[in-house]
Structure 1
Amino acid sequence: MTTSSSERPLTYAEDLRPEDVHALETFLNVQLGRVYEEVGETGETSFAMRSLLILVCDSAGLLHTLLAVEQPEMWQRAAIVREWQRLRSTAHEFNHCEGYDHDRWWNQVRHFDAADETAEQDRIRRFADVGPYPESGH
């Protein structure tokens, strides 16, 4: 048995592991599969469910690929945060489902790492000090 991800903190996207993505994707596929069975295989709702299943798989696949990059560039770091948030927010909607594990670590991550968080806080402070439209010195 593997160590549960709930036993370790998930603060930043750099803390994500492939098994985290796999666990979240599996959870979503099970939940969406249950809904798809209820909906049936015809009608617009069925098409929407199939599309949602495809989006979950694509998002998880992209995350797996990005997590394998040794030193991700800025756009890759942002994509990791975005895709995790996309999957996490989708899973969050199933909080009411039977068998949901309330100790799961579907944590929200807003930054790739501490340096990204600090840089954003610095940008916010500069924006607050200068304002949205700095006056020119004419």
Structure 2
Amino acid sequence: MTSPQAESTLTYAADLTREDVTALETFLNAQLGRVSEVVGETGETSFAMQSLLILVSDSAGFLHVLLRLEQPDLWQRAAIVREWQRLRSTAHPFNHCEGFDYDRWWNQVQHYDATDERAEQERIIRLADETVLDEGPAPTE
């Protein structure tokens, strides 16, 4: 296994750079290309591999467009998190291949930034409080 990269670990999607996306896309293309060579050029598995390669390319392309935005809207922020997670979860099993570091820096990100994380935590607390209030007092026997 190779040694971990010295780059910082991602915490939020706002920390993503175009280079991060390009590196992850390149890694995926290399791994999927290797699998495609074994699969061959005919049959259903070959068509599935081609489709997966197209999805990786589309997802990475969409991320590149979104990362160019200076002030992304809420839906765009959510799309950045989602597309990164999609690429990351596709790459994750390949991180365990011989010669690759399973602790690569393309970590799971669940929030766009700290403000987004705080808002989500507050929403969860509000929902939990509302659920407790809706249930009313506990029944007595």
Percent identity (aligned): 73
TM-score, L = length of structure 2: 0.88
Residue 82, structure 1, aligned to residue 75, structure 2: no
Tell me whether 102-111 or 67-76 shows the greater mean CA deviation.
Answer: 102-111
Query: Residue type of the partner of 1:18?
Result: R
The separation in 2 between residues aligned to 1:67 and 1:132, in whole angstroms, is 40
| Rg larger for | 2
User: What is the TM-score with the length of structure 1 in the denominator?
Assistant: 0.90
Map of 1:17 onto structure 2: 17
CA-atom RMSD in angstroms: 1.8
Query: Conserved in 2, the CA contact under 8 Å of 1:36 and 1:49?
Result: yes
Across the two proteins, how many residue pairs are aligned to each other? 132
Q: Which has the higher contact order (CA 8 A, sep 6+)?
A: 2
Cα distance between partner residues in 2 of 1:114 and 1:89: 22
C-alpha change, 1:36 and 1:17, in structure 2 (3 Å) is same
Q: Which residue of 2 aligns with 1:7?
A: 7
Conserved in 2, the CA contact under 8 Å of 1:6 and 1:105? no
Gaps of 5+ in 1: none
